[in-house]
């Protein structure tokens, strides 16, 4: 089996590659080749005994997508994107990377399909940003896509393309609407939602963190471990059970910032909580006013997708996976 991960240098892409190696395959099939692609060179996953192709490439560049399809990967994980805050600040870059790059990939697969019948499974990392205020709580599975950011719009258009290309039989696609992934390891990035991770990750290692919004902001979360699990399940699920509505809102945990902080207090104590500094940011507050507070995710749960049920669990996952199991 040949696996292609686009966006493999990112956090989810890296953890996905590691999980595939740890599982010794996908859906009971051994993986003999992994092609890992990003704009910076991804790391080779430790312990993989098959062939690893490392590609440093921009998916939105001419002929880039076509070159990735040459090896006819059986499963494609499309995780590449610039994050919400950057897409909002740089309109042209957001559409070039998040939309044009996606369509080039879909078109390259379509051309290959017409040439020799190639039809891979394609797992697309979408986002809950495809919906926008005013929002009910919880948000039902059939709620309309009315994004209020450029990033959300780019993901929503890509979802429509995925459904249509799947309907036409060019590939077997499924769109995974990721909750905000928390706690993200590493350094803060340009995602407007990054503070959800920052206010937990930094205090857990004795560092100060900035909170730019009020504690009553409610949002939808899942751990990196769950995000990788969504991708794996999306790659192996019987798509006949999914039907023509190929884009699914994933399970997650709805919590306010205040509830996050109280979970931090229970796990790491008052000293960690005191490291959170309130520093309101008007732009971020305006953006998060339209973010999703929580989803029913009934379809995804019935199809076997799972996530954490408490923020204490999310914090403990981070401690286990990133901090060696203890503080």
Every domain of the chain and the residues it spans? 2-181+223-252+298-302, 192-217+254-290+309-322
pLDDT at residue 288, rounded to an integer: 84
Rounded Cα gap, residues 46 and 217, in angstroms? 39
Please state the CATH superfamily assignment of the domain spanning residues 2-181+223-252+298-302 in this structure: NAD(P)-binding Rossmann-like Domain (3.40.50.720)
pLDDT at residue 204, rounded to an integer: 98
Are 201 and 150 in contact, with CB atoms under 8 Å apart? no
CB atoms within 10 A of CB 260: 26
Catalytic residues: 151
Indicate the burial class of 144 (C-beta count within 10 angstroms; 0-12, 13-18, 19 or more). Answer: exposed
Number of residues that this document lists for the chain? 327
pLDDT at residue 25, rounded to an integer: 96
Give me the residues of the chain with pLDDT under 50, please: none
Please state the CATH superfamily assignment of the domain spanning residues 192-217+254-290+309-322 in this structure: UDP-galactose 4-epimerase, domain 1 (3.90.25.10)
Residue (of 262, 241, 270) closest to 312 by Cα position: 262
Rounded Cα gap, residues 172 and 119, in angstroms? 7
Rounded Cα gap, residues 42 and 17, in angstroms? 10
Is 0.85 surpassed by the pTM of this model?
yes
Strands 75-78 and 121-127: parallel
Residue 318: in which H helix or E strand, if any? helix 311-322
DSSP-assigned letter for residue 252: -
pLDDT at residue 62, rounded to an integer: 87
Fold agreement between 2-181+223-252+298-302 and 192-217+254-290+309-322: no
CB atoms within 10 A of CB 309: 11
For residue 178, give both structure tokens. Answer: 């990721």
The C-alpha torsion from 181 through 183 and 186 to 191, rounded to 10°, is 40
């Amino acid at each position: 089996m040949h696996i292609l991960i686009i966006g493999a240098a990112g956090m989810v892409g890296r953890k996905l590659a590691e999980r595939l190696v740890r599982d010794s395959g996908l859906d009971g099939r051994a993986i003999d080749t992994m092609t890992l692609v990003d704009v910076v060179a991804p790391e080779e996953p430790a312990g993989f005994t098959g062939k690893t192709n490392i590609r440093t490439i921009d998916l939105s560049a001419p002929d880039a997508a076509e070159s990735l399809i040459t090896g006819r990967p059986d499963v494609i994980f499309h995780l590449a994107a610039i994050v919400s805050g950057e897409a909002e600040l740089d309109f042209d870059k957001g559409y070039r990377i998040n939309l044009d790059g996606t369509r080039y990939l879909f078109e390259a697969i379509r051309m290959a399909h017409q040439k020799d019948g190639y039809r891979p499974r394609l797992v697309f990392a979408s986002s809950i940003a495809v919906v926008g205020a005013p929002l009910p709580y919880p948000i039902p599975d059939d709620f309309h896509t009315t994004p209020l950011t450029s990033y959300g719009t780019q993901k929503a258009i890509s979802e429509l393309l995925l459904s249509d290309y799947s309907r036409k039989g060019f590939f077997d696609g499924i769109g995974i609407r990721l909750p905000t992934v928390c706690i993200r390891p590493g350094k803060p990035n340009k995602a407007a939602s990054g503070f959800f991770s920052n206010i937990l990750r930094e205090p857990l290692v004795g560092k100060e963190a900035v909170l730019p919004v009020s504690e009553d902001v409610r949002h939808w979360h899942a751990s990196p471990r769950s995000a990788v699990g969504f991708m794996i399940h999306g790659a192996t699920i019987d798509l006949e059970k999914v039907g023509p509505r190929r884009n699914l809102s994933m399970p997650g945990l709805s919590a306010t910032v205040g509830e996050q902080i109280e979970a931090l207090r229970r796990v790491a104590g008052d000293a960690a909580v005191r490291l959170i500094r309130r520093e309101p940011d008007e732009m971020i507050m305006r953006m998060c006013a339209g973010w999703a507070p929580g989803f029913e995710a009934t379809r995804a749960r019935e199809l076997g997708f799972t996530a954490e049920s408490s923020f204490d669990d999310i914090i403990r996952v981070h401690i286990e996976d990133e901090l060696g199991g203890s503080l």
